[in-house]
Amino acid sequence: MSPIRLAESVYRDKVYGCWLGKNIGGTLGAPYECDKNMQSLTFYDPVPTEPLPNDDLDLQLVWLKMLQERGVHLSVSDFADYWVKHL
């Protein structure tokens, strides 16, 4: 199987869409997180106008910052350092 090749603009668009979807899903799902009951939602009232805090997304942004600043060869100490400084 040959590798998939994407133009940089297409790749960036897909990554951007992924981040938007994760943020929107985290915001809309936050009020129901850990609720084991069946939900019957047809609309969000009120529709959020700002993203809510999202520990999953926040954590990934901290790891992204770490990768940008320290590169791909990371140690457990790098993760601990960024956890303490940013979380």
Query: Per residue in 26-54, pLDDT tens?
Result: 888 888 889 999 988 888 888 888 888 88
Query: Does residue 34 come out as left (phi exceeding 0), alpha (psi in the -120 to 50 range) or beta?
Result: left
- Answer whether 24's CB lies under 8 Å from 52's CB: no
Distance CA 73, CA 60 (A): 17
At residue 72's C-alpha, the angle toward residues 70 and 78, to 5°, is 50
Poorest-pLDDT segment among 2-11, 34-43, 64-73: 34-43
Distance CA 57, CA 74 (A): 20
Six-digit token string for 6: 């994407």
